[in-house]
C-alpha cells in the first residue's frame, strides 16, 4: 500500500489520533471513554501508520517492541491497586486527592488503574496484529 | 509461630540463592534450621504438658479461614519428630549426597517439605491443614523424583503424586462437607462441639472422604503400592518422608479426627479391617523381598497398618499404644533406613544376600543397626518393647474379637521383627566377603544420626518416664481421652502380654534363622500380579489416556468450521431446551416494541443488504467488508439507543477486526464456492436456528421482571462513592476493578499465546 496521500496524512494523523486517545482515556471517568477504548484508538493510530509507512518504520517509531507495553501497563494497574494498602485500606479501594486539576478532574488510584489498562490494551493489540502481519507477509 | 511455620519456605528460597556454598563447603549449614526449630519446640514441652497453646493470625476471616495454629500434645509429638529426625536427615544427607550437583535443590525441596509438614500438624483450621497437606504431596513428588534422569524415578514419583493427590482431592471434599455442616473450619471448635457430627445423616460420607485422604497418604491397602515405588528416592528421603513423617500424616489426620468423628462402629470397623488387611498383606510381602529398602518399605506399611488398626480399636489403651508406637517406629525405622543407605552408599548394593559380616569394617553402623533392630523387635530394655507390650495390651483387652485381633498383631509383629533383623543385623553378622575387605568406617555425618536415634530408642526403653509425662500423656489428652492409665513401665509383672512378647521374639528369631530370603518366592505371587491394586491403577490410567485421545481427536479435529458449528449447535440445544421447559414465552407487540422510526428502517435495510452480499459473494474481501458494514450498523444502533461507550468500543474493535481479517486473507486459499447443497442446507439450518433463538431470548428478556437493584445502586453511588459520572467506566475501574485486573491479565495471556503460536509456526516452516 504505497500511497503518498495516505503516507503524508498518516504523519499528521498519528499525533492527532494519539492525542485523541489520551483525551478519551482521561475523560473516561465523567463522559463516555476510558482506558479500554483509548487504548484501542491508540493502537488503530499505530496500525494506520504501519499501513502507510511499513511495519518496520512503525516499530522504529515505537522504539520498544509493542509487547513491552504489557508489563508496564499491568504493573501500573497492579500498583494502583496495591497503593491504598500502604495507608491501611483494602486492596483496590479508590483513593482520591482532594485537589481539582484542570482538564483531568480529580486524580486518584482509579485513574492510574485506567492508564494501566490503556497500556495493556495497546500492547496486546499491537503484539497480536504485528505478530500476525509479520508472520504472514 | 507463623515465622516458625514459614521459615522453611524462606530458607528453601535462600538455599537456592546460595547454591554454590551449599553444594560445596557449607553443606552442613541447612541442618541448623531443623535444629533451631527442634530446640524451639523443646522449650514448649513444659507449657504444652499443662495445656495446648493457641496462635491466631487473621487471614480470610470472612470465609472462616484464619491462620490458626495449635500446639497440643499430638502436634508437639509430630513437630519434635519432624524437626528432630529432620536434623539427623539434613546432616546425613549433606554427606550422603556430597558432590551431587543438585544438592542445593535437594535441601530446598527438603526444607519446603519440612515446613509443610510442620504447618500441617500445627494447623488448627481445616483449610490451612489441607493447604499444607497438599504441599507435602507436592514437595514429596520432587523428592521422590529427585533422580529425574531415570525413567523409573519419574514414573514412581508421578504414581505417588497421583495416589496422594487423588486422596487429597477427596479430603478437600470431606473438609468442605464438615465445614459447611458444622459451620466452622476451626478444628478447635469442632472438637469442642465433639460428637454432634456423628449423628448427622451425612456422617458416612464425611468419614469416607477423611479415610480416602488418610489411607492414600499413609499407604493403606489398597493404596499401599506407591510407597515401595517411592523407594527410588535417595535414602535420606525414604528415611524422612517414607518412614518417619509424611506417611504418618494420614495417621495424624485420623488421630486428629478421633475426638471429632471417632468412636462409632463404622469408624472403628473400617479402620480395624483396613489396618488389619494392610498389616497382613505387607508383612507377608516383606518376606519375599531381598532389597533392603523394599523390606523396610513393606515393614513400614505394616507398621502404618498397625497404627490405623490401633486407632480403630479406639480404647484408651489402644490410643496410648498408638501414641507410643508412633514414636517407637519413627526412631527405629529412620535409623534402619539410614543404615540401609550407608550400606548402599559404601558397598553399592542393597541385596541382603550379598551383605555379610560388615561389623568388622564399620562397627558404629553395625551398632546403630543392631540397636534399631532390637527396638523394632521389641527386645526388653528397648522402647520398642514398651510399644509392643502396649499393642498386645490393647488387642488383648479389645471389646470384641480380641483373639483374632491379637493373632493379627502377633503375626505382624513377628514379621516386623524379621524385617528389622534382616536390615539391622544380617548385613553385619557372618563372614565378611572378600570384596568388602577394603571398606572402612564412613564419615561420622553418616553414622552418627542413625546411632543417635537408635541409642535414644534404648534410653527411652530404660527410662520411659523421660517421655511419658511430658510427651506421651499430652498426646493421649489431645486424642480426647480422660481415663487415667498407669504410667509407662519397663516391667508390668508377668502376665499374658509378656507371654505374647516372648512368643513374638522366639518365633521371629526362628523365622530369621530358618527362612532364607530369595527371589525364588516372587513367582508364587506373580500370577496374581495382574489383579494387584497397582496393576489395576496402571490399567485405569492407560484407559483414561486412551479415552482422552479418542475424545480429543473427535472434537479437536483441526477444522475451525467444525468447532464453530459444534459450539453453536450445543448452545442452541441447551438454550432451546431451557426455553421450552422453563420459560413461558409470550410476546406483545404494543408493550415490547418501541415506535419504528425512519432511520431504524434505513439501518435495518443496510444490514439486510450487507448480509445478503456477504453470503452471496465469491470474494473473501467482499465478505469481510460486508460483515464489517453489519458491525458498523450495530454500532449506529448503539449510538441511537444511548449506549455511547458500547458504540465507541464496538467501532474500534470492528475496525481492528477487519484489519486482522485483511491481514489473514493473504494466507488463505482462494474462496471456494460451496456446491454441496447438503452442506449449505445444514449450515443455513444451524445459522437460522441460532439467530431465531437469540432473537426470541432478546425479546423475552423484556418480559422478564428484572431486579433493578444492582443498576440502581451503581447509578446512585457512582458519584458518591467513586467520584465519577460515567457509570460504565466507574464500574470498570472501581466497583468491578478486580475483574478488570484479571481481564487485562487474560488479554496478556492471549497476546502471549498468539505471539508464541505464530512464531512457533514460522520456525517449524523454516525447519522444513
Report, as an integer, the average pLDDT of A67-78. Answer: 91
* Per-residue pLDDT tens over the stretch B628-683: 899 999 999 888 887 888 888 888 888 888 888 887 776 677 666 666 788 888 88
Using a 10 angstrom Cβ sphere, with 0-12 exposed, 13-18 middle and 19 or more buried, the burial of residue B196 is exposed
Chain B residues touching residue A29 (CB < 8 angstroms): 723-726, 729-730, 733
* Per-residue pLDDT tens over the stretch A88-98: 777 777 777 77
- Cβ contacts of residue B437 below 8 Å, gap of 6+? B361
**Cβ contact (<8 Å) for A29 and B723?**
yes
Distance, in Å, from the CA atom of B9 to the CA atom of B115, rounded to the nearest integer, reads 6
DSSP for B18-45 reads: THHHHHTTTTTGGGHHHHHHHHHHHHTH
When CB atoms are compared, the residue of A31, A44, A114 closest to B733 is: A114
- Cα dihedral sign, B483-B487-B490-B491: negative
Percent of chain A with pLDDT over 70: 96
Buried b (16+ CB within 10 A) or exposed e, A22-59: eebbbbbbbebbbbbbbbbbbbbbbbbbbbbbebeebb
CA distance A15 to chain B (A): 18
Distance, in Å, from the CA atom of B633 to the CA atom of B651, rounded to the nearest integer, reads 10
A46 to chain B: closest CA residue = B656
CA distance B561 to chain A (A): 20
pLDDT higher than 60, residue B466? yes
Q: Would you tell me how many other CB atoms lie within 10 Å of the CB of residue B762? A: 14
Chain B residues touching residue A72 (CB < 8 angstroms): none
Cell of B438: 577394603
Q: Is the distance from CB of B93 to CB of B110 less than 8 angstroms?
A: yes
DSSP label at residue B359: G
Q: How large is the ipTM?
A: 0.89
Residue recorded with cell 485486573 = B741
Determine which of B145-154, B567-576, B656-665 has the lowest per-residue pLDDT on average: B656-665
- Cβ contacts of residue B232 below 8 Å, gap of 6+? B144, B147, B150, B152, B153, B156, B157
pLDDT higher than 60, residue B231? yes
Q: Name the nearest CA neighbour of A11 among A42, A52, A62.
A: A52
CA distance B713 to chain A (A): 17
Q: Is the distance from CB of B316 to CB of B278 less than 8 angstroms?
A: no
Tell me the sheet residues that pair with B125. Answer: B186
Chain A residues touching residue B732 (CB < 8 angstroms): 34-36, 114, 117
Report, as an integer, the average pLDDT of B534-560. Answer: 86
Task: Quote the strand ranges of B331-461, DSSP E.
Answer: none
Q: Is the distance from CB of A26 to CB of A103 less than 8 angstroms?
A: yes
Query: According to the model, what pLDDT value does residue B520 have?
Result: 63
pLDDT higher than 50, residue B767? no
Q: Is the distance from CB of B41 to CB of B76 less than 8 angstroms?
A: yes
pLDDT higher than 70, residue B399? yes
Cell of B340: 540401609
When CB atoms are compared, the residue of B653, B659, B728 closest to A47 is: B659
pLDDT higher than 70, residue B401? yes
* Per-residue pLDDT tens over the stretch B94-129: 888 887 888 888 889 999 999 999 999 999 999 999
Chain B residues touching residue A23 (CB < 8 angstroms): none
Chain B residues touching residue A120 (CB < 8 angstroms): 744, 747-748
Distance, in Å, from the CA atom of B452 to the CA atom of B554, rounded to the nearest integer, reads 61
**Cβ contact (<8 Å) for B648 and A31?**
no
Report, as an integer, the average pLDDT of B731-749. Answer: 87
Q: Is the distance from CB of B97 to CB of B252 less than 8 angstroms?
A: no
Report, as an integer, the average pLDDT of B707-716. Answer: 76
Taking phi over 0 as left and psi of -120 to 50 as alpha, with beta for the rest, B348 belongs to left
* Arithmetic mean of pLDDT over chain B: 85
More confident residue, B521 or B90: B90
Cell of B9: 519456605
Q: Name the nearest CA neighbour of B753 among A67, A119, A75.
A: A67
pLDDT higher than 60, residue B754? yes
Distance, in Å, from the CA atom of B562 to the CA atom of A134, rounded to the nearest integer, reads 28
pLDDT higher than 80, residue A120? yes
Determine which of B10-24, B30-44, B557-571 has the lowest per-residue pLDDT on average: B10-24
DSSP collapsed to 3 states, B580-594: HHHCCCCCCHHHHCC
Phi and psi torsions of B359, nearest 5°: -55, -35
pLDDT higher than 90, residue B305? yes
Report, as an integer, the average pLDDT of B42-67. Answer: 86
* Arithmetic mean of pLDDT over chain A: 86
CA distance A54 to chain B (A): 13
Distance, in Å, from the CA atom of B249 to the CA atom of B541, rounded to the nearest integer, reads 26
Tell me the sheet residues that pair with B55. Answer: B69
CA distance B96 to chain A (A): 44
More confident residue, A125 or B486: A125
Query: According to the model, what pLDDT value does residue B526 have?
Result: 66
Query: According to the model, what pLDDT value does residue A95 have?
Result: 76
Determine which of A5-19, A33-47, B588-602 has the lowest per-residue pLDDT on average: B588-602
**Cβ contact (<8 Å) for B740 and A33?**
no
pLDDT higher than 70, residue B590? no
Q: Name the nearest CA neighbour of B227 among B139, B309, B297, B291.
A: B297
Q: Is the distance from CB of B141 to CB of B157 less than 8 angstroms?
A: yes
Q: What is the band of B348 on the pLDDT scale with cuts at 50, 70, 90?
A: confident
Phi and psi torsions of B529, nearest 5°: -60, -35
Cell of A109: 488510584
Q: What is the band of B768 on the pLDDT scale with cuts at 50, 70, 90?
A: very low
* Per-residue pLDDT tens over the stretch B365-398: 889 999 999 998 888 888 888 888 888 888 888 8
Q: Is the distance from CB of B171 to CB of B212 less than 8 angstroms?
A: yes
CA distance B729 to chain A (A): 6
B259-263 contacts, C-beta under 8 A, 24 or more apart: B259/B191, B259/B194, B259/B479, B259/B480, B260/B178, B260/B187, B260/B190, B260/B191, B260/B194, B260/B197, B261/B197, B261/B198, B261/B203, B261/B206, B261/B207, B261/B210, B262/B311, B262/B314, B262/B480, B263/B198, B263/B314
A93 to chain B: closest CA residue = B734
Q: Is the distance from CB of B634 to CB of B650 less than 8 angstroms?
A: yes
Task: Quote the strand ranges of B173-327, DSSP E.
Answer: none
**Cβ contact (<8 Å) for B748 and A124?**
yes
**Cβ contact (<8 Å) for B659 and A117?**
no
Cell of B88: 539427623
Query: According to the model, what pLDDT value does residue B589 have?
Result: 67
pLDDT higher than 80, residue B741? yes
- Torsion, Cα B221 B225 B227 B229, to 10 degrees, reads 170
pLDDT higher than 50, residue B66? yes
DSSP label at residue B401: -
More confident residue, B543 or B443: B543
Taking phi over 0 as left and psi of -120 to 50 as alpha, with beta for the rest, A88 belongs to left
Report, as an integer, the average pLDDT of B340-356. Answer: 84
Percent of chain B with pLDDT over 70: 93
Chain B residues touching residue A36 (CB < 8 angstroms): 649, 732
Query: According to the model, what pLDDT value does residue A2 have?
Result: 65
Q: Is the distance from CB of B571 to CB of B690 less than 8 angstroms?
A: yes
A130 to chain B: closest CA residue = B755
Distance, in Å, from the CA atom of B27 to the CA atom of B151, rounded to the nearest integer, reads 28
Cell of B517: 530370603
pLDDT higher than 90, residue B2? no
B53-60/A105-108 β-pairing: unpaired
More confident residue, B705 or B510: B510
When CB atoms are compared, the residue of B666, B725, B758 closest to A137 is: B666
Chain A residues touching residue B655 (CB < 8 angstroms): 44
Distance, in Å, from the CA atom of B725 to the CA atom of B723, rounded to the nearest integer, reads 7
Amino acid at each position: 500500500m504505497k500511497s503518498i496521500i495516505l503516507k503524508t496524512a498518516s504523519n499528521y494523523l498519528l499525533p492527532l489520533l494519539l492525542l485523541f486517545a489520551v483525551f478519551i482515556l482521561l475523560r473516561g471517568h465523567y463522559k463516555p471513554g476510558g482506558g479500554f477504548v483509548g487504548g484501542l484508538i491508540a493502537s488503530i493510530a499505530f496500525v494506520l501508520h504501519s499501513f502507510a509507512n511499513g511495519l518496520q518504520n512503525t516499530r522504529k517509531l515505537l522504539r520498544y517492541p509493542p509487547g513491552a507495553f504489557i508489563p508496564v501497563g499491568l504493573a501500573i494497574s497492579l500498583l494502583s491497586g496495591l497503593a491504598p494498602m500502604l495507608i491501611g485500606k483494602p486492596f483496590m479501594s479508590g483513593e482520591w486527592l482532594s485537589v481539582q486539576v484542570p482538564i483531568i478532574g480529580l486524580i486518584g488510584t482509579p485513574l492510574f488503574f485506567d492508564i494501566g489498562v490503556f497500556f495493556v490494551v495497546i500492547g496486546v493489540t499491537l503484539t497480536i496484529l504485528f505478530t500476525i502481519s509479520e508472520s504472514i507477509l | 509461630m507463623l515465622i516458625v511455620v514459614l521459615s522453611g519456605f524462606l530458607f528453601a528460597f535462600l538455599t537456592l540463592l546460595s547454591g554454590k556454598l551449599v553444594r560445596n563447603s557449607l553443606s552442613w549449614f541447612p541442618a541448623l534450621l531443623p535444629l533451631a526449630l527442634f530446640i524451639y519446640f523443646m522449650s514448649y514441652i513444659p507449657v504444652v504438658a499443662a495445656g495446648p497453646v493457641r496462635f491466631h493470625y487473621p487471614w480470610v476471616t470472612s470465609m472462616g479461614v484464619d491462620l490458626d495454629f495449635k500446639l497440643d500434645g499430638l502436634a508437639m509429638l509430630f513437630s519434635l519428630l519432624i524437626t528432630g529426625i529432620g536434623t539427623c536427615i539434613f546432616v546425613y544427607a549433606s554427606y550422603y549426597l556430597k558432590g551431587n550437583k543438585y544438592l542445593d535443590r535437594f535441601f530446598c525441596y527438603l526444607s519446603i517439605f519440612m515446613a509443610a509438614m510442620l504447618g500441617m500438624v500445627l494447623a488448627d483450621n481445616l483449610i490451612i491443614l489441607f493447604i499444607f497437606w497438599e504441599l507435602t504431596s507436592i514437595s514429596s513428588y520432587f523428592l521422590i523424583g529427585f533422580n529425574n534422569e531415570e525413567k523409573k524415578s519419574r514414573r514412581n514419583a508421578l504414581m505417588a503424586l497421583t495416589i496422594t493427590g487423588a486422596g487429597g482431592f477427596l479430603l478437600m471434599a470431606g473438609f468442605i462437607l464438615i465445614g459447611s455442616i458444622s459451620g466452622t473450619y476451626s478444628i478447635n471448635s469442632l472438637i469442642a462441639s465433639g460428637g454432634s457430627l456423628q449423628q448427622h445423616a451425612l456422617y458416612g460420607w464425611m468419614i469416607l472422604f477423611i479415610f480416602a485422604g488418610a489411607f492414600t497418604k499413609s499407604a493403606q491397602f489398597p493404596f499401599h503400592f506407591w510407597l515401595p515405588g517411592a523407594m527410588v528416592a535417595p535414602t535420606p528421603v525414604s528415611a524422612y518422608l517414607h518412614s518417619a513423617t509424611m506417611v504418618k500424616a494420614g495417621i495424624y489426620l485420623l488421630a486428629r479426627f478421633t475426638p471429632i468423628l471417632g468412636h462409632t462402629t463404622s469408624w472403628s470397623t473400617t479402620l480395624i479391617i483396613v489396618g488389619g488387611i494392610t498389616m497382613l498383606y505387607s508383612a507377608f510381602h516383606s518376606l519375599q523381598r531381598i532389597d533392603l529398602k523394599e523390606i523396610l518399605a513393606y515393614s513400614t506399611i505394616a507398621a502404618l497398618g498397625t497404627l490405623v488398626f490401633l486407632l480403630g480399636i479406639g480404647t484408651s489403651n489402644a490410643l496410648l499404644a498408638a501414641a507410643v508406637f508412633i514414636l517407637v517406629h519413627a526412631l527405629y525405622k529412620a535409623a534402619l533406613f539410614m543404615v540401609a543407605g550407608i550400606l548402599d552408599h559404601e558397598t553399592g548394593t542393597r541385596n541382603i544376600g550379598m551383605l555379610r559380616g560388615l561389623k568388622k569394617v564399620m562397627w558404629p553402623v553395625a551398632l546403630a543397626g543392631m540397636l534399631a533392630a532390637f527396638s523394632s523387635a521389641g527386645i526388653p530394655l528397648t522402647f520398642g518393647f514398651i510399644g509392643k507390650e502396649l499393642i498386645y495390651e490393647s488387642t488383648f483387652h479389645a471389646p470384641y474379637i480380641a483373639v483374632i485381633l491379637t493373632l493379627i498383631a502377633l503375626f505382624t509383629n513377628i514379621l516386623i521383627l524379621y524385617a528389622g533383623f534382616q536390615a539391622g543385623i544380617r548385613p553385619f553378622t557372618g563372614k565378611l566377603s572378600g570384596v568388602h575387605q577394603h571398606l572402612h568406617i564412613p564419615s561420622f555425618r553418616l553414622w552418627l544420626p542413625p546411632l543417635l536415634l537408635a541409642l535414644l530408642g534404648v534410653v527411652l526403653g530404660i527410662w520411659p518416664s523421660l517421655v511419658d509425662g511430658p510427651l506421651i500423656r499430652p498426646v493421649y489428652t489431645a486424642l480426647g481421652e480422660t481415663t487415667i492409665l498407669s504410667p509407662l513401665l519397663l516391667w508390668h509383672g508377668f502376665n499374658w502380654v509378656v507371654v505374647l512378647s516372648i512368643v513374638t521374639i522366639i518365633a521371629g528369631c526362628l523365622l530369621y534363622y530358618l527362612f532364607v530370603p530369595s527371589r525364588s518366592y516372587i513367582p508364587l505371587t506373580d500370577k496374581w500380579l495382574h489383579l494387584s491394586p497397582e496393576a489395576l491403577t496402571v490399567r485405569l490410567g492407560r484407559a483414561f489416556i486412551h479415552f482422552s485421545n479418542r475424545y480429543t481427536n473427535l472434537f479437536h479435529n483441526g477444522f475451525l468450521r467444525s468447532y464453530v458449528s459444534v459450539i453453536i449447535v450445543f448452545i442452541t440445544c441447551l438454550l432451546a431446551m431451557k426455553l421450552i421447559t422453563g420459560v413461558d414465552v409470550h410476546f406483545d407487540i404494543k408493550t415490547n416494541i418501541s415506535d419504528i422510526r425512519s432511520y431504524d428502517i434505513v439501518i435495518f435495510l443496510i444490514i439486510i443488504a450487507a448480509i445478503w452480499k456477504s453470503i452471496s459473494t465469491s470474494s473473501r474481501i467482499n465478505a469481510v467488508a460486508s460483515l464489517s458494514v453489519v458491525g458498523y450498523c450495530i454500532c449506529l444502533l448503539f449510538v441511537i439507543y444511548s449506549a455511547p461507550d458500547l458504540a465507541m468500543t464496538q467501532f474500534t474493535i470492528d475496525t481492528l477486526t477487519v484489519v486482522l481479517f485483511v491481514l489473514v486473507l493473504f494466507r488463505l486459499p482462494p474462496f471456494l464456492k460451496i456446491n454441496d447443497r447438503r452442506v449449505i442446507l445444514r449450515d443455513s439450518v444451524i445459522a437460522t436456528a441460532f439467530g431465531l433463538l437469540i432473537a426470541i431470548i432478546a425479546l423475552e428478556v423484556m418480559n422478564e421482571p428484572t431486579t433493578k437493584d444492582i443498576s440502581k445502586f451503581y447509578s446512585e453511588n457512582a458519584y458518591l462513592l467513586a467520584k465519577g459520572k460515567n457509570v460504565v467506566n466507574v464500574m470498570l475501574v472501581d466497583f468491578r476493578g478486580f475483574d478488570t485486573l484479571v481481564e487485562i491479565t487474560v488479554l496478556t495471556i492471549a497476546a502471549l499465546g498468539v505471539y508464541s503460536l505464530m512464531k512457533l509456526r514460522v520456525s517449524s516452516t523454516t525447519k522444513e
